Amino acid sequence: MFQGTASSVGKSLLTAAFCRIFYQDGYKVAPFKSQNMALNSYITKKGMEMGRAQVVQAEAAKVEPSVLMNPILLKPTTDKKCQVILNGKVYRNMSAVEYHEFKPTLAKMVKDSFDELAKHYDIVVLEGAGSPAEINLRDKDIVNMGMAEMADADVILIGDIDRGGVFASIYGTIMLLTEEERKRVKGIIINKFRGDVEILKPGIKMLEELTGIPVLGVVPYYNVQIEDEDSLAERFRTERNNKGQIEVAVLYLPHVSNFTDFNVFETQEDVNLRYVMRGQSIGNPDMLIIPGSKNTLEDLIYLKETGLAKEIFRLNKEGKLIIGICGGYQMLGKRLCDPYGTESDIKEINGLGLLDIETVFELEKTTTQVEAEIVAKVQNNFEGIKGMKIKGYEIHMGQTQLGKESFVLNHIKKRLDDEVCIEDGAVSMSGNVMGTYIHGIFDNIGFTRKLLNNIRKAKGLDEKESNVESFELFKEKEYDKLAKIVREHVDLEKIYNIIQGE
């Protein structure tokens, strides 16, 4: 089990790295995280919702994602409440206090999920959450040392040297553990190191002497394009490619969800992907994307109160391409209604009015993988997309109706294993505003490249092919790259010895 001294120390990516390493070494391996708090989620082939971090780890292990790998998913809706998802289905919304009292009743479910995985895999790589030294939460812990005890797992502790104070954070974490918990910690990994490791060695020696626990490796700061677990990840603070001829701007909403929808743009050499953070101006991007949200109505108010809505209207008048995904799609409409208080206490609100659609939030959540065909025949920004086949997944409580002033974007042909014909999405009459419920639509490289080439054409630039054959193959290379880096800087023999109980 990998635990960390804090959030964002690299637990998720190192877990993914070892999933790939063990797979490469011939083992059947699965990831496991009992409880994940994240607004990035994924829908499995069975229509179940789980955290994307475990999906990434499953991809690294080359196994099909299953909710057994993440039986509890918490999706914050406000600062004090979250939607609790158990075994892939919505249970109910809870406050932090309510959930903390509820946790002990979940221990058996968590243990059963782990035991079921352990029956079918040679190695299960567990990931903790936050820090195991949260002493105020110890008595009801089911995700860190409490989970390690249920699984009888040895623990490797990860510290992030890039943020500073790594020796203090590692030592302090270990000292705050109980004696029994400390016995489980069999190794330490120092992550995100920059510089000459020789300078670090005296400190490593002192740390080992103080704790009696060996440092198994110092992993350098690495640049791999693999999805981040934490919404405060570095990717939102910097432009991914400031030399691109096309600028794609994504609004970073207070309750943004599924921001991994846009990672594919990082693979395109002619794209400069930029996230518009609080207090920043949208500027003049070629494409503006309003992403999904776990609280669409409050995030819509945020756009209006911060003046971002006025900038969106300006871009619309200039004919710039504006795209909304899921919650962003709903915001682009004329009206949003939440009669049951599904997302907030706001019963009704006017949308941005750029698409002739209206949305009502229902009590039942739609969670499904889909295959669809683009049917909208619109020129300019969307020229050439009609007839394209796309794949993705839906996660939404809202149901949207189109008015007469919008074109249907696509027909969903398949939901899970069922053949269907369902309308999804909308395109404005002006041909520069589009919305859809389909997450992962941009992972369809042909579709995304067509949109980008239409922008290039409007700017007087030659068309350009994608520099990656497919997003799936690109990710495969990144998993191998990550595994290679970790192999070179961690004592793998000692880790196998720990697994074998030596």
Question: Helix and strand tally (H, E) in the chain?
Answer: 13, 25
Strand partners, 29: 123
Residues 333 and 222 in one domain: no
Tokens of 23: 């797979």
Q: Is residue 148 within 8 Å of residue 1, measured between CB atoms?
A: yes
Is residue 97 situated within a structural domain? yes
What's the pLDDT score for residue 53?
94
Which SS3 state, helix, strand or coil, does residue 167 take?
helix
What's the pLDDT score for residue 238?
52
Range of the domain at 140: 2-226+489-499
Residues 163 and 265 in one domain: no
pLDDT exceeds 50 at position 293: yes
Residues 206 and 255 in one domain: no
> What is the mean pLDDT of the segment spanning 262-267?
93
User: Active-site residues: which are they?
Assistant: 326, 439
Which SS3 state, helix, strand or coil, does residue 246 take?
strand
Is residue 65 situated within a structural domain? yes
Distance CA 241, CA 370 (A): 31
Is residue 233 situated within a structural domain? no
Residues 19 and 98 in one domain: yes
How many domains is the chain partitioned into structurally? 2
**Radius of gyration (C-alpha) of the chain in whole angstroms:** 23
Q: Is residue 238 within 8 Å of residue 277, measured between CB atoms?
A: no
Find the CATH number of the domain harbouring 413. 3.40.50.880
Is residue 480 situated within a structural domain? no
A 10 A CB-CB count for 87 gives 17
Least confident of 50-59, 203-212, 228-237, 468-477: 228-237
> What is the mean pLDDT of the segment spanning 5-27?
96
What's the pLDDT score for residue 80?
80
Write down the pTM of the prediction: 0.91
Q: Where are the beta strands (DSSP E) in 28-116?
A: 29-32, 35-37, 41-43, 49-51, 72-76, 81-86, 89-95
A 10 A CB-CB count for 401 gives 12
Residue in 500, 497, 365 with CA at minimum distance from that of residue 73: 365
Is residue 472 situated within a structural domain? no
Is residue 182 situated within a structural domain? yes
Give the max Cα distance, the chain. Answer: 73
> How many Å separate Cα 344 from the centre of its chain?
23
Distance CA 387, CA 239 (A): 33
Residues 129 and 176 in one domain: yes
- On average, the pLDDT of the chain sits at 93
pLDDT in tens, 103-146: 999 999 999 999 999 999 999 999 999 999 999 988 999 999 99
What's the pLDDT score for residue 417?
84
Strand (E) or helix (H) holding 145? helix 145-151
What's the pLDDT score for residue 241?
55
Distance CA 263, CA 368 (A): 21
pLDDT exceeds 90 at position 271: yes
496, 497, 499, 501: CA torsion to nearest 10 = 170
Strand (E) or helix (H) holding 325? strand 321-325
Distance CA 127, CA 425 (A): 37
Residues 330 and 183 in one domain: no
pLDDT exceeds 60 at position 370: yes
Q: Is residue 484 within 8 Å of residue 477, measured between CB atoms?
A: no
Distance CA 34, CA 71 (A): 6
Residues in the chain: 502
Going by their DSSP bridges, the two strands 292-293 and 256-257 should be labelled as antiparallel
Residues 300 and 385 in one domain: yes
Residue indicated by tokens 């609100």: 349
Residues 217 and 277 in one domain: no
Q: Is residue 16 within 8 Å of residue 198, measured between CB atoms?
A: no
pLDDT in tens, 210-253: 999 999 999 999 888 888 665 445 555 555 556 789 999 999 99
Q: Please, what is the end-to-end C-alpha distance for the chain in angstroms?
A: 16
Tokens of 151: 């699984």
Is residue 234 situated within a structural domain? no
Residues 200 and 286 in one domain: no
Tokens of 9: 């120390």
Residues 215 and 254 in one domain: no
Is residue 49 situated within a structural domain? yes
What's the pLDDT score for residue 342?
84
Tokens of 481: 């790259």
pLDDT in tens, 62-113: 999 999 999 999 998 877 889 999 999 999 999 989 999 999 999 999 999 9
Strand partners, 124: 30
Percent above pLDDT 90 for the chain? 85
| Long-range contacts formed by 409-412: CB under 8 A, 24+ apart | 409/374, 409/375, 409/376, 409/434, 409/435, 409/436, 410/372, 410/373, 410/374, 410/375, 410/376, 410/436, 410/438, 411/372, 411/373, 411/375, 412/370, 412/371, 412/372
Q: Tell me what percent of the chain is helix, strand and coil, each rounded to the nearest 5.
A: 35, 30, 35
| Long-range contacts formed by 163-167: CB under 8 A, 24+ apart | 163/6, 163/9, 163/192, 166/5, 166/190, 167/203, 167/206, 167/207
User: Under 8 Å CB-to-CB from 348, ≥6 apart: which residues?
Assistant: 335, 336, 337, 338
What's the pLDDT score for residue 222?
87
What's the pLDDT score for residue 235?
56
Residues 205 and 153 in one domain: yes
Which SS3 state, helix, strand or coil, does residue 418 take?
strand
Distance CA 480, CA 501 (A): 27
pLDDT in tens, 399-426: 999 999 999 999 999 998 899 999 999 9
pLDDT band at 329 (very low <50, low <70, confident <90, very high): very high
Q: Is residue 6 within 8 Å of residue 131, measured between CB atoms?
A: yes
Residues 314 and 342 in one domain: yes
